[in-house]
Amino acid sequence: MFSDFYPHLVQGLAVAAALWFLPASCCHGADEPLFPNADFESGSLEGWTLTGDAFQFQPTKGDNPQVRGRESSAHEGEHWVGGFEKHTNSEGQPGGAFTDDAVGELISPEFTIRKPYLNFLIGGGNHPGQTGVKLQCDAQELDLATGGDSETMSPSSHDVSKLLGKKARLVVYDNVRGGWGHVNVDSFRASDKPLPGSMGEFALVPGIPASPGDDRRYDQPLRPQFHFTAGKNWLNDPNGMVFDGEKYHLFFQHNPLAPVWGNMTWGHATSPDMVHWTQHDHALLPYRVDRQAGTIFSGTAVVDHNNSLGVQQGEQKTLCAFFTFAVRPKFYQAMAYSTDDGATWKYWNEGRPVVPNQGFDDGERDPKVFWHEPSGRWVMVLWVKQNPGKVRFFTSKNLADWEHASDFDRDWAFECMDLAFLPVDGDKNNMKAVIYDASFDYEVGTFDGREFHSESGPHRAGGGNFYAAQSFNDMPDDRVVQIGWMRGGPNSAEKYGLPFNQQMSFPYELSLRRIGGDLKLFAQPIAEISSLVDDALVMQDVTIRDGENLLASQEPFDLVDAEIEFAPGTAERLSFQLSGASLEYDASTHRLLQQGVDEQGNAVEVVVFDDLKPRDGRVKLRFLIDRLTVESFAFDGERFFAAYYSPRSGDRSPVIRAEGGDVNVRKLEIRRLHSAWVDQ
């Protein structure tokens, strides 16, 4: 299962579902409870018969899963049956959880079928025939529905017109122990009509707000100040990165409800310079269609310059977002478009597949779409299988119909594939294609519009907490700039009481250089960082004597972009304490080490670079230090690494100290930066 590999996916496959309920008043006469306490609003199981122990703590009350940081239950009224919940009028706590290991049944009183539709809400495990609701009538058992592996309940409607006048019972059953071994139900009603959203038409999942809230603040002492964070709650991969001619769009994997992974939605921010970001309403929200509810996983966005899709309104170019619809049982690729510059979005063909599941992996995902000028086609790069990895290329003329063009089979390939074009050593007559995945394994070669032809690699770039990077589409001046998710680090909501969790890397500009007869990717912070520079401490050709601190007379630094070129000479170590971060170059092992922090908040020693030997006697390093992270670059970005640190409290006096011998600093420049949130 794909989720075994990625812990953030394991936090819950939020395959959420939708509910649109008509107000009770509108339905008088047309819609009535199936039998007394069919909506559990008595707060008890009065009238129902219980077997086994799965339902012993029912009904639950309120949106108990959401209190735990999970997806909303989307229940009606106050009480409902939530098989995993343990919070009743007399038992448990708000948010309290029971177990998936209990089994049993909940049997309704006998009732007469008086209306043509039997409607209810259902959620919980997706185990057809093992968890769900069945109808017993006329000595027959009709299986009605199972859940969608989501706590969110969805509308479920059944045409029972052929059974009118007959006596029947409902059985809510849970025969599964373990993963998603529970069922949620609410509001069994008799009606003249099916519930909206129950017969397959498109509906957004309820309970997921489109607004990021207008009470966002960016001035908390430990909020990153020049790295993008969601105003509130969880963020992971960058999505849909595109320059629209005026500004940069950054969409991102987001849980609008909690600081943990779940309810995947595309958050949205824009920037004039990739440094100063403003967050907007969420762009793409979980939905249901064809009786299946799912969430919005990663993907890309393009500006439809030639109106290929044919939906353009006036002069405003259409933005098209390609994403993975994470739905059970098989993910597929879908598209949404915006004709108003990203303010509102429509789901193409109601969010149905533009590229159906290819049949290799239920979790295929993360379409990268771009315009390929030489072939005059749109291209999609899609990861479709792991171990061994398979990536599939598709082409399209109109962005809606996609043809399979070729396969790229590589052991290394896994999720969040990207393809970008770069000149070799700046020579625009020698362009190469670079294909890479979430871990930044990459190959360099050429792309003919249908197929990738490899010339170099695989190599690996980046390291540490840098993951799932993507490059901007439609960059001016053919620049290739990417942003990655800084995956991991402690949950900053839990550990530091911040309203968000996780951050993006700073944007890096990529270049391709020939070194040692091979083609390698280099990454450097984008030049636009200069807009944040207040002033700089500059030193040249100074010798730090053994035991001496070069910065002894300096005030503490806060946000910095620091570059140093030094000759380690006879020294054993050169140690750095800048802002809250501590690093050390070990001249005997040629390693750069950092004091880092793991996901549990434990201090760990991180090897940033090994085999970092001086060249012509010198080592060249650059550090971007924000409130929670350090990004390190060696030899002009030939190597780079991103890592979290545990902010130091107490004495933050800066240190660059030589130990075991003297170090000659050829050049030091510590640029003090101000916050990128100043204008918020």
No. of helices (H) and no. of strands (E), the chain: 3, 49
Site for ligand FRU in 442-481 (CB under 6 A): 468
CA atoms of 592 and 610, how far apart (whole Å): 6
Among 21, 117, 297, 677, binds ligand FRU (CB under 6 A): 297
Compute the least distance from the CB of residue 10 to ligand FRU, in Å.
11
358/360 Cα distance (integer angstroms): 6
Candidate list 365, 368, 410, 520; residue touching ligand FRU; CB under 6 A: 365
Closest approach of Cβ 15 to ligand FRU, in Å? Answer: 12
Q: Rule CB under 6 A: is residue 100 a binding residue for ligand FRU?
A: no
Binding of ligand FRU by 264 (CB under 6 A): yes
Asked if residues 255 and 237 have their Cβ atoms less than 8 Å apart, the reply is no
Taking CB under 6 A as the criterion, the residue among 31, 39, 237, 509 binding ligand FRU is: 237
Token pair of 668 as six digits: 């030091």
Taking CA atoms, 93 is separated from 99, 469, 517, in Å, by 14, 40, 64
What CA–CA distance (Å, rounded) separates 57 from 500? 33
Using DSSP's 3-state secondary structure scheme, residue 84 falls into coil
Residue from the set 119, 324, 395, 505 that interacts with ligand FRU by CB under 6 A: 324
Give me the residue label for tokens 């001619």: 245
For the CA atoms of the chain, what is the radius of gyration? 28
Rounded Cα–Cα distance for residues 584 and 327 (Å): 46
395 binds ligand FRU (CB under 6 A): no
Rounded CA gap, 65 and 95, in Å? 6
CB closer to ligand FRU out of 484 and 568: 484
On whether the CB atoms of residues 269 and 277 are closer than 8 A, the answer is: yes
Residue 70 Cβ vs ligand FRU, minimum distance, rounded to whole Å: 15
Rule CB under 6 A: is residue 415 a binding residue for ligand FRU? Answer: yes
Of residues 229 and 339, the one with the C-beta less far from ligand FRU: 229
Cβ proximity to ligand FRU: between 2 and 421 the closer is 2
Residue 236 in the binding site for ligand FRU (CB under 6 A): yes
The single residue among 253, 300, 439, 629 that binds ligand FRU, judged by CB under 6 A, is: 253
CB nearer to ligand FRU: pick between 298 and 632: 298
Nearer to ligand FRU, 170 or 438 (CB): 438
CB of 236 to ligand FRU, least distance (A): 5
225 binds ligand FRU (CB under 6 A): no
Torsion over CA: 340, 344, 349, 355 (sign): positive
Question: Smallest distance from the beta carbon of 211 to ligand FRU, in angstroms?
Answer: 21
Counting Cβ atoms within 10 Å, is residue 331 exposed (0-12), middle (13-18) or buried (19+)?
buried
Q: Is 21 exposed, middle or buried (0-12, 13-18, 19+ CB in 10 A)?
A: buried
**Contact in structure between 116 and 91 (CB atoms under 8 Å):** no
Tell which one of 298, 357, 439, 582 touches ligand FRU (CB under 6 A): 298
* Residue type at position 326: A
Please report, as residue ranges, which positions from 109 to 148 form the binding site for ligand FRU (by CB under 6 A).
Answer: none
Q: Phi and psi for 427 in degrees, rounded to 5?
A: -85, 105
Mask for 423-442, x = binds ligand FRU (CB under 6 A):
---------------x----
Q: Which is nearer to ligand FRU, 260 or 320 (CB)?
A: 260
Compare residues 131 and 492 and give the one whose CB is closer to ligand FRU: 492
227 vs 365, which CB is nearer to ligand FRU? 365
How far is residue 573 from each of residues 3, 365, 583, measured CA to CA in Å? 42, 45, 10
Per the structure block, which two tokens stand in for 7?
């812990």
**Nearest distance, CB of residue 625 and ligand FRU, angstroms:** 25
**Residues sharing a CB contact under 8 Å with residue 13, sequence separation 6 or more, in sequence order:** 3, 149, 150, 326, 328
Closest to 677 measured CA to CA, from 285, 111, 227 = 227
- Candidates 81, 168, 384, 416; binder of ligand FRU (CB under 6 A) is 416
Nearest CA among 506, 619, 606 for reference residue 573: 619
**Candidate list 149, 361, 364, 366; residue touching ligand FRU; CB under 6 A:** 366
Distance CA(478)–CA(305), nearest Å, equals: 16
Selection from 511, 505, 487 nearest residue 423 by Cα: 511
Nearer to ligand FRU, 237 or 563 (CB): 237
What is the full DSSP assignment across 598-662?
A: -TTS-EEEEEEESS---BTTBEEEEEEE-SSEEEEEETTTTEEEEEE--PPPS----EEEEESS-
Contacts of 41 (CB under 8 A, 6+ apart): 77, 78, 79
Give the DSSP letter of residue 103: -
Q: Catalytic residue positions?
A: 237
Q: Residue 71 or residue 415: which is nearer to ligand FRU going by CB? A: 415
Name residue 216's amino acid.
R
Quote the distance between the C-alpha of residue 344 and its chain's center.
Answer: 20
Count of residues engaged in binding ligand FRU, rule: CB under 6 A: 15
> Measuring CA to CA, which residue among 401, 387, 404 is closest to residue 354?
401
For residues 59 and 45, is the Cβ–Cβ distance under 8 A? yes
Looking at the Cβ atoms of 182 and 365, the one nearer to ligand FRU is 365
> How far apart are CB 259 and ligand FRU at their closest, in Å?
14
Q: Indicate the residue type of 633.
A: F
* Residue of 11, 15, 3 lying closest to 289 (CA atoms): 15
Given the DSSP bridges, would you call strands 581-586 and 591-597 parallel, antiparallel or unpaired? antiparallel
Q: Is 559 in the site for ligand FRU (CB under 6 A)?
A: no
- The answer to whether 216 and 233 have CB atoms below 8 angstroms apart is no
Q: CB-wise, 76 or 418, nearer to ligand FRU? A: 418
Give the nearest distance from C-beta 299 to ligand FRU in angstroms: 8
Q: Tell the smallest beta-carbon distance from residue 279 to ligand FRU (Å).
A: 18
**Interacting residues toward ligand FRU by CB under 6 A:** 6, 9, 236-237, 253, 264, 297-298, 324, 365-366, 415-416, 438, 468
